Amino acid sequence: MLESKLPAVGTTIFSHMSALASECGALNLSQGFPDFPAPERLRQALARQALEGHNQYAPMAGLPALREAIAGQLAHHRGVVCDADTEITVLPGATEAIYCAITACVSAGDEVILLDPCYDSYRPAVLLAGGVPVHVPLDPVTFMPNWARIEAAISRRTRMLVINSPHNPTGAALAREDLETLNRLVARHGLLVVSDEVYEYLIYDGRTHHSALQFDALRAATFAVFSFGKTYGVTGWKTGYCVAPPALTAELRKIHQYVCFVAVTPVQQALAEFMRAEPDYPLTLAARYQHKRDLFNRALAGSALRLTPSAGSYFQLLDYAALSDSADVQLCEAWTREVGVASIPVSVFYQQPPAQRLLRFCFAKQDAVLQQAAERLCKI
């Protein structure tokens, strides 16, 4: 009998809830993807690039034109200078970037600090590398890191720390002071960092996204990971990129070339073309998604669900403690079947879930869908 390398892993909750939502005809606010179209110009670019014959393997590190466009965007929007040849790698999705970064750097017995709740791909990647995930909880109310507690969790074996801002599932966003503290911590302890910044442009109420790439010690020690799927509303195109110093990038590419080798060529061509034509498109996202967050939250005003408006990402947490004592996994399924709104239980993002009553709702949905979902939730 084959011994599983990931015995605790089954079908992800995202697949399960999306399948249940479609089986029940529920409004699907569970999985994180938009239900409205990506920019037409981008979709047309993909069709044209494929028709024009850009259908064979791209260079392993990504199309030079796309890497140049990324370097331009980083300089323009973040003031970060990086070399497109030696520091930027295009991969089939941020998930693969995270996997390759962890696999490249974590050896048997190395500890990796993960901040719970966290995105579900981090822990399996650490385990498959033979590493030891060390889960440190975020504050249970604000979901911000407690840096003293994180520093206390650092041992001689600690190799890496994974951060994610804006944050899935909670919608929290790190402040400049958080990055400054982390910058000092990384310098003091010689740690590597994976900074998952896939929701970098989805940030609200006038906040600024602070990239790990903007802080000196972090810049030298970080794999910063981004997703075209999130920024351009094309999650099904599964294309992302990683920015890291040359020595780290070289190691990441050694793994990437044997996991996937390359990202999809016409997708890269289309993205490069769109980024050149509309360099400020990402800056339009915050207002558009904030409108959706506010529409959803306002429409919930009459319900007993409690919320703190999400600071970033396209997720809104709702606290249902006033409505039910059920565990979140059971309630989530029940509401999908009986109320007709699918969400994601927050406990699945924890190793040791605290006593919370929280569900995660994705508001990257059409306004009418958000309105209808809120109306259904108000009737509970």
Residues forming the site for ligand PLP (CB under 6 A): 32, 93-95, 119, 164, 168, 196, 198, 227, 229, 235, 238, 240
Nearer to ligand PLP, 27 or 364 (CB): 364
What's the closest the beta carbon of residue 285 comes to ligand PLP, in angstroms?
A: 15
What's the closest the beta carbon of residue 53 comes to ligand PLP, in angstroms?
A: 26
Nearer to ligand PLP, 122 or 299 (CB): 122
The total number of residues written for the chain in this structure: 380
Residue 257 neighbours by CB distance under 10 Å: 14
What's the closest the beta carbon of residue 365 comes to ligand PLP, in angstroms?
A: 15
Nearer to ligand PLP, 168 or 249 (CB): 168
Nearer to ligand PLP, 225 or 299 (CB): 225
Q: Which residue is nearest to ligand PLP (CB)?
A: 93
3-state secondary structure of 137: strand
Rounded to a whole number, what is the largest CA-CA distance in the chain? 58
What's the closest the beta carbon of residue 335 comes to ligand PLP, in angstroms?
A: 21
Nearer to ligand PLP, 339 or 359 (CB): 359
Judge residue 325's burial from the number of C-beta atoms within 10 Å of its C-beta, 0-12 exposed, 13-18 middle, 19 or more buried. Answer: exposed
Judge residue 340's burial from the number of C-beta atoms within 10 Å of its C-beta, 0-12 exposed, 13-18 middle, 19 or more buried. Answer: middle
Report the amino acid identity of residue 187: A
Distance CA 212, CA 198 (A): 12
Q: In what order do the strands lie in the sheet with 111-116?
A: 88-91, 240-243, 222-227, 192-196, 158-164, 111-116, 132-137
What's the closest the beta carbon of residue 14 comes to ligand PLP, in angstroms?
A: 8
What's the closest the beta carbon of residue 94 comes to ligand PLP, in angstroms?
A: 4
Nearer to ligand PLP, 129 or 217 (CB): 129
What's the closest the beta carbon of residue 193 comes to ligand PLP, in angstroms?
A: 15
What's the closest the beta carbon of residue 303 comes to ligand PLP, in angstroms?
A: 26
Phi, psi of 360 (to 5 degrees): -105, 125
Nearer to ligand PLP, 131 or 240 (CB): 240
Q: Note whether 277 and 41 are within 8 A (CB).
A: yes
3-state secondary structure of 179: helix
Nearer to ligand PLP, 119 or 289 (CB): 119
Nearer to ligand PLP, 94 or 221 (CB): 94
b/e per residue 166-199 (b: at least 16 CB within 10 A): bbbbbbbbbeeebbebbbebbeeeebbbbbbbbb
Nearer to ligand PLP, 229 or 353 (CB): 229
DSSP β-ladder status, 158-164 and 27-28: unpaired
Distance CA 147, CA 153 (A): 10
β-pair partners for 279: none
Of the candidates 196, 209, 231, the residue with the CA atom closest to the CA atom of residue 101: 196
What's the closest the beta carbon of residue 49 comes to ligand PLP, in angstroms?
A: 20
What's the closest the beta carbon of residue 165 comes to ligand PLP, in angstroms?
A: 9
Q: Tokens 């996994």 label which residue?
A: 329
